[in-house]
Amino acid sequence: MSRIGIFILNRIGIIAWCLFASASLCRAEKPSQSSELPLLANAREVGRSKSALLASVSRKETSPPAGPPAANLADFKQHVAPVLTKTCVACHGPEKTKGKFRIDTLDPDLMQGGDGEWWLEVLDVLSNGEMPPEDADVELADADLSKVIEWLGPEIQKASTVQRSEGSHSSFRRMARYEYSYALQDLLGLPYSLADRLPPETASEDGFKNSSEMLQMSAMQFETYREIGLKALKHATVRGERPKMDVYRLPLQEEAFSAINNENIGEIHPLNLKAKKGEKAKKDVSLDKRNHSVKLNLSNHLPDEGIMRVTVRAGRSTMNADEYASLRLIFSAHTSNNANFSQVVSARDLPVTASADKPQFIHFDIPLSEIQRNPFRNNEEKFPRRDEFLTIQYSSSTRNKEPLGVLVDFIEISAPFHEQWPPKTHRDIFIESKNKSDEQVYGREVLTQFMERAWRRPVTTKEVDPFVALFIEYRLDFTDLEEAMLEVLATVLATPEFLYLAQQISVNHSENSNTISDMELASRLSFFLWSSIPDKELLEIARKGKLSDATVLASQVKRMLADSRSNRFSQNFVQQWLGMDALESVTHVNDRSLKEAMEEEPIAFFKEVLNRNSSVMDFIHSDYTVVNERLANHYKIRDVYGPHFRKVLIKPEMNRGGILTGAAILTMNSDGEDSNPLQRGVWMLERILHDPPPPPPPNVPEVDLTDPKILQMTLKERIADHRNKPACISCHAKIDPWGIAFENYDALGVYRTKIKNKPVDATSALFNKQELAGMDGLKRYLLAERQDQFSRAIVHKMTAYALGRPLSFSDRAEIDSLALQFRKKGDRLGDLIQLIIHSSIFNSK
Amino acid sequence: MMNNKAESLNRRKFLRGTGVALALPWFETFAANESKRDPAPKRFVSIYHPDGVGLPVKADPAWKDWSWFPRGGEKDFELTKVLDVLEPLRREITIYSGLSHPAARTVHGHSNADQYLTGAATGGHGSYKNSVSLDQVYAAHAGEFTRHSSLVMSTNGGVGGPRGAQTQSYNREGRPIPALNNPKQIFDMLFVTSGKDAAAKLARSKSALDLLIGNTRSFGRRLSKHDQETLQQYLDAVRDTEVKLEKARKWIDTPVPKVDTRHLTLDADPKEARLYFKTMYELIYLSFLSDSTRVATFQLGRENGGGQHNLLSKAVGLGNAHALTHAVKKPKGWENLGTYNRYQAEEFGRFVQKLKDTSEPSGQGNLLDNTFAMHGSASSSFHLSRNYPIISAGGKNLGFENGRYLKFGEGNEDNQAGAGIVTDRGWQGKVEAEELPLSRLFITVLQRLGVEAESFGGITGTLGRV
C-alpha cells in the first residue's frame, strides 16, 4: 500500500469509491487480460451488468439504528482483525512499513477515532483490486475480503452520518470572480464584464474555482469590489439630456438612408472611399482583400464612453448551404512607428445569412470605455497620431468554384448609442414613482427594490434604514439625487449579503433547522445552473414558499436549463472539471481558430449529453463526436461545414468519440513537442476517475538526457526506465499505464500510428496487471470494469460544484445514495442534475 | 458634479498617478511594520532615456571617443567622451553591460520604454499586456510611510500608447500610471495642501465602511459559528481599509513640508530643456529630502520621438533628438548622438552630486547613500533591444559597492555585438552574445530595499558581483 503514506496527507477531503452496503464483492473485477475485455460496442452493456453498485439494489437497506450510532468493535475483533493481520501487517506493520503506512495502528473506532480517512483509503485500494499487489506473498481470498468490507462499509457510513450532523464543511462563501461578473451583469443589465480587475481564483483539489475553502477575502479584494461596483452603476445609469450621437456613415449605394432614429444625430462624418480633395492619399476606407477586411479611419471623434453601435448591411454572394460567412470587429491604432496595437472587440463573430439581393442588418454594440483606445486621441498635437481604426473582417468557409464572399453595401457607426432614453438599465434602478418629488421617500423606494434584487430576498424597513441615512448624508455632497444614490448603491454592492452565498441559521428552532430556506435554495440553484443571482421569477416563487415543492422545483430546473444562462453552467463546470485552464499555458497551438475549437469541444459535447439527457458513459466513449468544421478537419472527419458545433456520427476507424480523445485534453497534456503520458495519466486519475495520485516527492531524479543511452530511447522506454528507479516506481506504476494508452495521439491530439518511424506502442499494464491496448483498450476497460468508479466520480464532482464546497468523509453516505439512484436511472446527465438538486445534501446548510 | 470638471480631473489624475495611499496593493502584508518606521528612508529612482546610445564598430574612427560603454576592467575602467562628465562621481557610480530583458530581446526598439522596468513580453503587434514595474513593487512596500507612494514623471506626460509608453510605471495589474510633466503641477501636488474634495471623499468612505461593519455584524448573527469565522475575513478586510483611510486622512491633516521655491523655475518647459531637466530633477530631490515619497521614475522623451521629446536635444544645440540615432553615419553623426547622451549623463550627474552633498535629515550619511538611482535605456545600438546601457549611483547604505564597470554575459567583447547597425536588420538579428536577465539586478535591488522578492518579470534569482 505504498502510495498511501504521502497521499493521505495531501488531501483534505477524500471519498473512496466502493459499495459498503453490499455483501457481494465490491472489488472491481479481478485483473483480466485485454483479450477478455468485451469489444467497445458492447462494453457498456457488459460493464453495467457487472456493476456492484447496481447489484446492491435488490438488497434491503439497513434501517438506521435508534440513538447515536456506536462503533462495531466486536465484529472487527472477531472477523476483520484476523484477516488484516494475516494479509496486510507483513508489509504495513511494525516489521516493514511500506508507503509509511501501518494498518495495525489504525483505530477501529471510526466514530471516535481519528482514522476515518485512512480507512477510506483501505476500502479504496481493496475494492480497486490494488492490494494486496500481484507480486505479494499473500493473497486475499474473496471470503476474507467480504468480511472486511461488510464491516468497514457500514462503519464508514455511520461515521459519516455522525460527522455530517456536526457539519465540518460549509457552503458559505463569497462569489467566485466569474460569478461576481455574471451577477453584476444580470443585476444591472450590462452586456459585458467589468470584473477583470479582480484577482483570479485558485482551484480546489477537485479543480473547482467556486469552492468555499479557497475563496478568500482581503482588503485589496474588498476595495476592488467597491471600485467595480460604482463603475458598473455608472455604466448602467445616465444623467442629463439625451446626448447627440456622432455618426459615421459609409454609403455605398445611391439611396441615402440610416439605420437609426434621426432625431438624435449630432455630427455626421462621411467616410470617404477616395481621397478628399486637396489631401493627398488621405482616404478613410481601405480594403484589404488578403485579410478579407475593410478598415475604417474614424479619426478622433469617438466619445470616451458609451456604446459604439456598428451597423453593417451585408449579404452573401452565394447561398450554398454548406458554406458559412461571419463578421468580426477589430479596433486598432497606430500611434507612431512600431507603437501599434489591435484587438478583436466583438464578443463573438456574427453570421451573415442573408443573400446579397436581400441583405440583412448586423449590429455590434461595443462599450468604448472597456476597449483599448488610442490614448493620444484628445491631444492637440497631431503626433503621435490621434486617429482610431475600426476593421470589419469577414471570414468564410468556401470550397466551391464560385467563392463565397460577403457584400457590404452600408456601414454606419454611431456613438454614444442609446436604444432608449433613459435606457432600461437606468430605469430599472431609478424606478418610476409618484413619490419622485419627495427625495427621502423616493430614495427609500429605489434602495428597497435594489437591495431585494442584490440580496436575493425581501428586506425589512429596518434593514433599509442605515442605507437611507447614508443617502441623506451623501446627498449634501452632490448636486443631484442620482449621483449621491449611486454611491449608496455601490455600498449595497459591497455588503456581504451581495458578495456571499449564505445559509442563515433558523430563527425559530423548528425540526427542519438544517434545511435551507426557499430564498436560499433559489440562490443556490441559480449559482449552480446560471453562475449568477436568481431572476425575478425564481425569487417570486421562492418568496411564496413554493420552490421547495418537488414538482415546482423540477419545472424550475427545467426552465433554467432551457435558458441561455445555463450555458455558463456547461462552460464553467466543464472547464473546471476537466482543468481546461491548462490549455491556456501551452505554447504549441499556433492556429487561433483551432485552439478556440479545441476549447469549445468538451463544452459542446457536454451540452449535447445534457440536452438529450444521455448517459454520462458517453464521456468515456460515444459513437458520435461534437465538432465544427475546423475541428472536423483536424480529426479528418469529412463533410462538416461551418463554425457551429454539432453532433456527427463517426466510425471506429476515426478513433474518436467521448471526451478522452478530445484535442484539448490531449494537447494540454503535452509538452509542446510531444505527448506527455505522465501528465495524461495524472489527468485521467484526477479528472475522470477521481483518484488523484500523490504529488511527486521533493527529490525526484531528473531524466538525464545527456546520457546517450537514454537519448536513444523512445518516450515510452524512457518513462519505463525512469519508473524503474526505486524512488519513482510506486507512484509511476499507478500513473504511467493510463497515459501510455493515449500514445496514439500526438501533441495536438492528431491520431498517429508511428512516432519517428517506429510504430506507436500504446500498450501498457495497470498496477493490477490489467493490460490496456491503446485508447480502444482503455475505453473498453473503463466501460467494462470501472463504470461504478466513473459514475461516483462524476456524482462527486458535480455535487462539489453544485454546493461550492469540498466534499468530505461526512458526505459519503449522501454521495453513495446519489450514485446509486443515478446508476439505477441509467446514468443520465440531466437526471443527475435533478437528483442533486432534489437531494437532501443540496437542500441542507 | 461637485466642482468644476478641470479641477476634479486633475485631482483624479494625481490621485491615480501617485496613489495617495488609497489603493495600495499588498498594503496589508506590510501594515504590521507600521510601528517601526525605519529611521533612514530607503529610496529608489529610475531615469529612462529612449533611443539607446551610440555604439560604433571598433574600426570606426568615432569608436575611440563616442562609443557609450567604458573601456577596461571592473575598477580601472576608462570613460569615453560620452560619460566623462561622470568622472568626478566615478566612485559613486556603477556601469553595467550585458543585461537585458529576455522577453523583449526581439522587439523593435521603438516599443522599448514599455518593458524597461517591467520585463514583460509586450510584443510587437496585436493585443497588449504589461506587468507591474520595479518602482511600483517597491512603492507598494514603502508607500505607506510617505504622503505619496511614488512620483511618476516624464517629459511627454500621460501614459502614451501601447508600445509607445510615456510613463515608466505600471501598477499591479500591468496598467500604466499616468506620468506628470508639468513642474508647477508636480510642485503643487507635493507641497501645496490638497483640497477639501479629498477630505469629503474620505469622509464618505468612512461612513460607508461604518455602515458595512454594522451590516456585517447583524448578518453574522444569523450565521453558524463556522460561517462567522469565514465572515471574519470580510470584516478584517473592511477594517484594514478603514486603517488605510485613517492614514490617508492623516496626510490630509498633516501640513505639507515648506519648501523654498526661489531657486525653482516652475514654468520651465521642455523647449528650454536644460532648465526643464534641472527643475524636474530638483523636484525629485525635494520630494526625497522632505520624505514626501521614496520612489520616483522619470522618462526623458518617448521612443521614436514626437512631442516634447524632439525639443530635448536643443539643450546641446542639436536638432530633433530621435533623428540623431538615425543619422549616425552622417558626418559627425556618432559625435552628435554621443553629445546628446553626454548631456543626459551630465544632468543625471548633477542630481547625483546634489544627493551626495545633502546630509540625510536623520543623520545617517547623505541622501545618496540611502538612494539607489538608476539611469538607462532598453536599447543599446539602433533599435536593438539588447545590452542595455545602464548606470547606477548611490546605495552605499543598502549594500551597493560602486566605482565599478560590471560586464555580464559572454561573447560580446568591447560591446561590439550589434554595434554600428543602422537598419532594422539589426534588431531582428539572431541573439548571439549571451546576456543576463536585467530582472536579476531588479531582484537584488528589491531585496536590498527590504522587499522579500524572489522573482520579478518571470525571472528568479539575484545578480552576482553587484
Residue A826 lies in a domain: no
Residue A324 lies in a domain: yes
Structurally, chain B folds into a number of domains equal to 1
B249-307: per-residue pLDDT in tens? 888 888 888 888 888 999 998 888 899 999 999 999 999 999 999 999 999 999 988 77
Between strands B390-394 and B371-376, the pairing is antiparallel
Residue B221 lies in a domain: no
Residues A262 and A225 in one domain: no
Residue B247 lies in a domain: no
A682-691: per-residue pLDDT in tens? 999 999 999 8
What is the structure's pLDDT at A495? 98
Give the CATH number for residue B382. 3.40.720
What's the mean pLDDT in A97-120? 84
Residue A61 has pLDDT above 50, yes or no: no
Judge if ipTM > 0.85.
no
Model confidence band, residue B90 (pLDDT cutoffs 50, 70, 90): very high
Residue A5 has pLDDT above 70, yes or no: no
Query: How far is A667 from A675, CA to CA, in rounded Å?
Result: 8
Chain B residues inside the 8 Å CB shell of A507? 222
Last residue of a domain, one of A373, A394, A415: A415
Query: How far is B225 from A505, CA to CA, in rounded Å?
Result: 10
**Interchain pair B307, A473: CB under 8 A:** no
What is the structure's pLDDT at A437? 94
A569-583: per-residue pLDDT in tens? 999 999 999 999 999
Residue B194 lies in a domain: no
Residue B230 lies in a domain: no
What is the structure's pLDDT at B30? 34
What is the structure's pLDDT at A711? 74
Q: Which of A24-28, A752-756, B66-70, B458-462 has the lowest average pLDDT?
A: A24-28
Chain B residues inside the 8 Å CB shell of A216? 233
B/e letters for B105-127, b = 16+ CB within 10 Å, e = fewer, are ebbbbbbbbbbbbbbbbbbebee
A781-827: per-residue pLDDT in tens? 999 999 999 999 999 999 999 999 998 878 888 999 999 999 999 99
Residues A275 and A399 in one domain: yes
**Residues paired with residue B94 on neighbouring β-strands, in sequence order:** B392, B404
Neighbours of A585 (CB within 10 A): 7
- B173 closest CB neighbour out of A197, A376, A505: A197
What is the structure's pLDDT at A813? 87
Q: How far is B395 from chain A (nearest CA, A)?
A: 32
DSSP class of residue B359 equals B
B411-461: per-residue pLDDT in tens? 898 899 888 887 777 777 777 789 999 999 999 999 999 999 999 999 999
Give the CATH number for residue A402. 2.60.120
Residue A627 lies in a domain: no
**Interchain pair B304, A337: CB under 8 A:** yes
What's the mean pLDDT in B360-373? 93
Residue B249 lies in a domain: no
Identify which of B334, B373, B332 has the alpha carbon closest to the alpha carbon of residue B351: B373
**Interchain pair B124, A338: CB under 8 A:** yes
Q: How far is B107 from chain A (nearest CA, A)?
A: 9
Identify which of A796, A686, A797, A682 has the alpha carbon closest to the alpha carbon of residue A735: A682
Identify which of A424, A423, A471, A473 has the alpha carbon closest to the alpha carbon of residue A447: A471
A-B Cβ pairs (cutoff 8 Å, strict): 169
Last residue of a domain, one of A415, A441, A459: A415
Residues A290 and A379 in one domain: yes
Q: How far is B113 from chain A (nearest CA, A)?
A: 11
Question: What chain B residue is nearest to A475 in terms of C-alpha separation?
Answer: B204
Residue B140 lies in a domain: yes
SS3 A596: helix
- A336 closest CB neighbour out of B126, B234, B304: B304
A577-624: per-residue pLDDT in tens? 999 999 988 889 999 899 999 999 999 999 999 999 999 999 999 999
Question: What chain B residue is nearest to A490 in terms of C-alpha separation?
Answer: B208
Average pLDDT, chain A: 86
Residues A301 and A396 in one domain: yes
B25 against A537, higher pLDDT: A537
Neighbours of B276 (CB within 10 A): 23
Query: How far is B36 from B443, CA to CA, in rounded Å?
Result: 24
A234-266: per-residue pLDDT in tens? 999 999 999 999 999 886 665 555 556 566 788
Residue A223 lies in a domain: yes
A507-562: per-residue pLDDT in tens? 655 545 788 999 999 999 999 999 999 999 999 999 999 999 999 999 999 999 99
Neighbours of A349 (CB within 10 A): 18
What's the mean pLDDT in B122-133? 91
Residues A278 and A406 in one domain: yes
Last residue of a domain, one of A415, A439, A462: A415
Question: What phi and psi values does residue A829 have, to the nearest 5 degrees?
Answer: -65, -45
Amino acid at A266: G
Residue A396 has pLDDT above 90, yes or no: no
SS3 A459: coil
**Interchain pair B163, A167: CB under 8 A:** no
* Residue of A217, A380, A459 best to disrupt the B interface, most CBs of B under 10 A: A217
**Interchain pair B303, A339: CB under 8 A:** yes
A121 against A655, higher pLDDT: A655
Residues A264 and A311 in one domain: yes
What is the structure's pLDDT at A19? 27
**Interchain pair A372, B234: CB under 8 A:** no
Query: How far is A758 from A714, CA to CA, in rounded Å?
Result: 9
Residue A199 lies in a domain: yes
Identify which of A582, A779, A548, A757 has the alpha carbon closest to the alpha carbon of residue A670: A582
What is the structure's pLDDT at B167? 96
List the domain range (segments joined by +) for residue A366: 245-415
Residues A220 and A296 in one domain: no
Residue B404 has pLDDT above 60, yes or no: yes
Model confidence band, residue A23 (pLDDT cutoffs 50, 70, 90): very low
* Residue of A173, A233, A340, A381 best to disrupt the B interface, most CBs of B under 10 A: A340
* Residue of B230, B245, B311 best to disrupt the A interface, most CBs of A under 10 A: B230
Chain A residues inside the 8 Å CB shell of B131? none
Residue A339 has pLDDT above 70, yes or no: yes
What is the structure's pLDDT at A12? 27
Residue B297 lies in a domain: yes
Contacts of A112 (CB under 8 A, 6+ apart): A71
Check: CB of residue A323 under 8 Å from CB of residue A400.
yes
Helix (H) or strand (E) holding A832: helix A829-838
**Interchain pair A340, B127: CB under 8 A:** no
DSSP class of residue A686 equals I
Chain A residues inside the 8 Å CB shell of B204? 473-474, 477, 487
- A222 closest CB neighbour out of B1, B125, B241: B241
Check: CB of residue B96 under 8 Å from CB of residue B392.
yes
Check: CB of residue B361 under 8 Å from CB of residue B354.
no
**Interchain pair B306, A341: CB under 8 A:** no
Question: What phi and psi values does residue A785 have, to the nearest 5 degrees?
Answer: -120, -15
Check: CB of residue B463 under 8 Å from CB of residue B436.
yes
B238 against A1, higher pLDDT: B238
Residues A199 and A334 in one domain: no
User: In this structure, what C-alpha cell is assigned to residue A5?
Assistant: 503514506
What is the structure's pLDDT at B21? 30
Structurally, chain A folds into a number of domains equal to 2
Residues A298 and A395 in one domain: yes
Residues A275 and A363 in one domain: yes
A149 against B18, higher pLDDT: A149
A755-783: per-residue pLDDT in tens? 988 999 999 998 778 899 999 999 999 99
Helix (H) or strand (E) holding A339: strand A339-344
* Residue of B224, B229, B243 best to disrupt the A interface, most CBs of A under 10 A: B224
Residue B32 has pLDDT above 50, yes or no: no
Residue A161 lies in a domain: no
Residue B4 has pLDDT above 60, yes or no: no
Residue A284 lies in a domain: yes
What is the structure's pLDDT at A263? 67
What's the mean pLDDT in B99-126? 93
Residue A73 lies in a domain: no
Question: What chain B residue is nearest to A502 in terms of C-alpha separation?
Answer: B223
What is the structure's pLDDT at B31? 35
What is the structure's pLDDT at B451? 96
List the domain range (segments joined by +) for residue B125: 37-188+258-460
